Amino acid sequence: MKSRACKPPALGQDATPTPAAMQQSLPLELGGREPTRSGAHSRGGLPARDTVQHLWFCVWLPQLPLEAVVSTGAPGTPLAVVEEHHGIHRILMADAEALAAGVMPGQAANAALALLPTLQLEERSPPREQQALEELAAWLERFSSFVSMAGPDVLLLEIAGSLRLFGGLQALRQALSRGLRELGFAAALAIAPTPLAATWLARASRRVCIRDTENLGPALRRLPLACLDWPASLCEALAGMGVATVGDCLRLPREGFTRRFGARCLLDLDRALGHLADPRSSWRAPEHFCGDYEMTTEQADRKLLLNICEELLQAHESFLLARQLGTQRLSFSFFHFKGPATELRLGCARAERSAARWFDLLRIRFERLVLPEPVIAVRLRGGMTQPLQAESGDLPFHGRPGASQRRFSIAQLAERLIARIGDQSVQATTMVAEHRPQYAWRPHSLLADWSCNTHAEPPPYLQRPLWMLPEPALLPADSGYPVHQGCRLRLVDGPERLETGWWDEDGISRDYYTALRPDGRRLWVFRNRNHESSWYLHGYFG
Amino acid sequence: MSASLDKLLANPRVWRGRDQARHTSGLASGYPELDRHLPGGGWSPDSLTEILTSQYGIGELRLLMPALARLSQQTPEQGFGEPGWIAWVAPPFQPYPPALRQCGIDLSRMLIVRPQDASEILWSAEQALSSGTCAAVLLWPEFLNDQAGRRLQLAAEKGRSWAIAFRPLTARRQASAAALRLELQADAQGTRVHILKSRGGRPVVVDLLL
């Protein structure tokens, strides 16, 4: 390995593939045999740990458009995915039965139907493909802590760290390919020390396993340029020059190649061969849940919808259980065939994952939910998740002797109330250190800031009423005294002068009095000092 | 004669109201002259109490404050699994926190619920009562018929919670399942508490300085 700077003419380092390296390539599907290693490095099948740092497992899903489609027909119905090109629907992909009947990719949809009248045609759906890919990526997370999405149909796993856990490369590969088969994906697999090489090898359906960087070059050389995912115009230009494989590319002078085709392709080649670092970003399964339930026909049966919701909540619970998380918010969307979806939001005072508890809240709300139309699909979206705090239950002998068991905690009570009558209608209050009576307290939601309380203590000598009016009410005056509902009030205590509030432009200048009506009611009134004769009622001494 | 009377009274089918009340110890109201007339020497906390008033501001809350303050500060050692929450369902005005604090109420254990309609008031109160976490539930129902009152009474017994319903004076003629019914009347001299009905007690008028 000489440095490239001294030896610029060729892109690759080794001009010819060594036979020893080629033996490292072996079919992936041949189970039960550890890859044999030949040459001087062979040490009884143990991985040469000093030379291999990373090992990338590539999963390429060439039939993803077909696999992402949910077949609605009877089992065994031939299926094909169509894509629109210039107004004509053409077959993009067809399953084995359809292919056997003569349906071919590129065929017009009508021609395919003429060949096979029972053929079920589905429009290609990239969002659904992405969703299927993400579901698969989430499943693959069990094999590696590092799963990366390398394209719309390519997933990469870093498996060097997982080999020991899964009992070696062979066992891991078998488990993976078996799992993929069970999930119904036809995947092309390849293993290589660089992510790009693994991707290219998988795309070329080479089914190889390369563990050392020095063997990469020989394996890549034979790959056709079509599997590199380079722009088609570039591949055509290269083909016109007689360059058909990666090996042909590597033989070209580096400077000329860069000048003609841009630096990106050269960088790709260097990355694939391991000469340049190729950092990948790790994909993480989303920490919030989103589950859909689609129905074949519109449904208006509320009992059935409730059952569907329960099913979704159970899926939500198992999603959170695997992550030891809980969530405080949930939202259900009920989709209609026409018109906007009906939304239903649920909140919980504490992070919660139990499907039974969420279902309890849902039932309260669902009773009064108005569904304008039948429902075609239901979606459950989980809110922001947070680590779940375990709650310790009471021991049976704690509790009041003879007392009935506590049915639910205050948090659960608040949730039930909020679920039925709304967030704004259930409040806790807290004191605020403030002399102006209307600002001396503040309501707060039970869901948002649980147990927040300032320790402002009102002095006991101040007269404060137990009832406060939402807004001070203007009182008429009779020769300087306030009049309430036709009765002249007797001022029995006061004045207590409360002034200023310059900092928020709501300054007051008031004299507060305790006033007594002849019928025994005690009122809290004030005289506005800004307007000499105006009296206001602000509360009752309840 | 006395022996036959004793025999009769020993019959389990004979129910004696006074004895029932003796078994439960009441929650001291903080007004000794009222406690003297209440069965058990105080409020009966696991039941429905009705307070009939014509007006707000005559001491209807001050009457309850000493007992509510005790309930809200009760610690688990004193009996409740969780210190008692006090729920206010559909209060006519804003319960003013500084004044409540002055009365000794723990504000962090207060829940104010404002349902939109009459049936939701009763539903919320029933939920709060039967939850077993609220030591007291104060409610201002728009209507309270015999059946609804009975439901509240049952919920209070089930959740071991004290239900206090504030009702207008016109409700006086209605039958009620409440264990205790009071009527408050005020004049310039003070507030008069009229015990209309008391399970195991006697109707009486008590003058209080609230």
How far apart are alpha carbons A521 and A542 in whole angstroms?
A: 8
Per DSSP, the three-state class of B72 is helix
Tokens of A150: 């390398």
* A540: nearest CB among B65, B93, B111: B93
Q: Please tell me if residue B83 touches chain A, with a CB cutoff of 8 Å.
A: no
How far apart are alpha carbons A382 and B103 in whole angstroms?
A: 43
| DSSP letter string, B138-198 | EE--S---HHHHHHHHHHHHHHT-EEEEEE-GGGGGS----SEEEEEEEETTEEEEEEEEE
**How close B81 gets to chain A, by Cα (Å)?**
6
Q: Which helix (H) or strand (E) holds A203?
A: helix A195-203
Calculate the CA B187 to chain-centre distance.
Answer: 23
* B99: nearest CB among A417, A457, A466: A466
Q: Do residue B57 and residue A407 have CB atoms under 8 angstroms apart? A: no
Q: Do residue B102 and residue A519 have CB atoms under 8 angstroms apart? A: no
Cα angle A342, A347, A348 (rounded to 5 degrees) comes to 155
**How close B201 gets to chain A, by Cα (Å)?**
25
Residues in chain B within 8 Å Cβ distance of A440: 97-98
Q: Do residue B62 and residue A410 have CB atoms under 8 angstroms apart? A: no
**How close B152 gets to chain A, by Cα (Å)?**
16
Residues in chain A within 8 Å Cβ distance of B190: 520
Q: Do residue A400 and residue B160 have CB atoms under 8 angstroms apart? A: yes
Residue A525 near residue A496, CB atoms below 8 Å: no
Residue B32 near residue B17, CB atoms below 8 Å: no
* CB within 8 Å of chain B, chain A residues 261-300: none
| DSSP letter string, A114-149 | HH-TTPEEEE--HHHHHHHHHHHHHHHTTT-S-EEE
> Across the 210 residues of chain B, what is the mean pLDDT of every consecutive 10-residue run?
80 68 70 86 87 87 90 60 80 91 87 90 91 89 89 89 92 87 84 85 79
Residue B110 near residue A427, CB atoms below 8 Å: no
* A520: nearest CB among B58, B130, B160: B58
Mind listing the pLDDT tens digit of every residue in chain A (542 residues)?
A: 333 433 333 444 443 333 333 334 333 333 333 343 433 343 334 444 444 478 999 999 988 888 888 766 667 788 889 988 888 889 888 888 888 888 888 888 888 889 888 888 888 888 888 888 988 888 888 888 889 988 888 999 999 888 888 888 899 999 999 999 988 888 999 999 999 999 999 998 888 888 888 888 888 888 888 888 888 888 888 888 888 888 888 888 888 888 888 888 889 888 888 888 888 888 877 677 888 888 888 888 889 999 999 999 998 888 888 777 888 888 999 999 888 888 888 887 777 788 888 898 898 888 888 888 899 999 998 887 777 766 555 554 444 444 445 566 777 788 888 888 887 888 888 888 888 888 888 888 776 654 545 566 778 888 899 999 989 999 998 888 889 888 888 898 878 998 888 888 788 888 999 998 888 888 999 998 876 668 999 999 88
Test the A interface: residue of B96, B122, B154 with most A CBs within 10 Å: B96
Q: What is the pLDDT of residue A20?
A: 39
Q: Do residue A521 and residue B124 have CB atoms under 8 angstroms apart? A: no
* A440: nearest CB among B98, B158, B187: B98
Say how many C-beta atoms besides its own lie within 10 A of residue B5's C-beta. 9
Residue A368 near residue A408, CB atoms below 8 Å: no
* CB within 8 Å of chain A, chain B residues 104-123: 107-108, 110-116, 120, 123
Tokens of A248: 């042909």
* B93: nearest CB among A410, A425, A469: A469
* CB within 8 Å of chain A, chain B residues 20-49: none
* A417: nearest CB among B107, B113, B159: B113
Q: Do residue A413 and residue B134 have CB atoms under 8 angstroms apart? A: yes
| DSSP letter string, A260-292 | HH-HHHHHHHHHHHTSS----PPB---SS-EEE
Q: What is the pLDDT of residue A2?
A: 37
* CB within 8 Å of chain B, chain A residues 393-422: 394, 398-400, 403-410, 412-414, 416-417, 420-422
* CB within 8 Å of chain B, chain A residues 450-479: 451, 453, 457-458, 460, 462, 464-470
Q: Please tell me if residue A446 touches chain B, with a CB cutoff of 8 Å.
A: yes
Q: Please tell me if residue B85 touches chain A, with a CB cutoff of 8 Å.
A: yes
Cα angle A382, A386, A387 (rounded to 5 degrees) comes to 130
Q: Tell me the residue length of chain B.
A: 210
Q: What is the pLDDT of residue A460?
A: 81
Q: Do residue B132 and residue A406 have CB atoms under 8 angstroms apart? A: yes
**How close A317 gets to chain B, by Cα (Å)?**
25
Q: Please tell me if residue A448 touches chain B, with a CB cutoff of 8 Å.
A: no
What are the φ and ψ backbone dihedral angles of A257, each rounded to 5 degrees?
Answer: -65, -45
Q: Please tell me if residue A532 touches chain B, with a CB cutoff of 8 Å.
A: no
Residue of A nearest to B157 (CA): A404
* B61: nearest CB among A429, A430, A466: A466
**How close A362 gets to chain B, by Cα (Å)?**
16
Q: Please tell me if residue A392 touches chain B, with a CB cutoff of 8 Å.
A: no
> In A337-453, where do the E strands start and end?
342-352, 375-382, 385-387, 426-431, 441-445
**How close A429 gets to chain B, by Cα (Å)?**
7
How far apart are alpha carbons A179 and A189 in whole angstroms?
A: 13
Residue of B nearest to A518 (CA): B188
Residue of A nearest to B53 (CA): A542
Tokens of B128: 């709060």
Q: Do residue A467 and residue B115 have CB atoms under 8 angstroms apart? A: no
* CB within 8 Å of chain B, chain A residues 323-382: none
Tokens of A56: 């990338």
Using the structure block, give the residue that is written with the tokens 């709060």: B128
Test the B interface: residue of A446, A453, A466, A519 with most B CBs within 10 Å: A466
pLDDT tens digits, one per residue of A305-338: 999 999 999 988 888 887 778 888 889 999 998 8
Q: Please tell me if residue B208 touches chain A, with a CB cutoff of 8 Å.
A: no
* B115: nearest CB among A425, A431, A516: A425
**How close A491 gets to chain B, by Cα (Å)?**
13
Residues in chain B within 8 Å Cβ distance of A409: 82, 133
Residue A32 near residue A293, CB atoms below 8 Å: no
Nearest Cα to Cα of residue A193 among A166, A175, A220, A227: A220
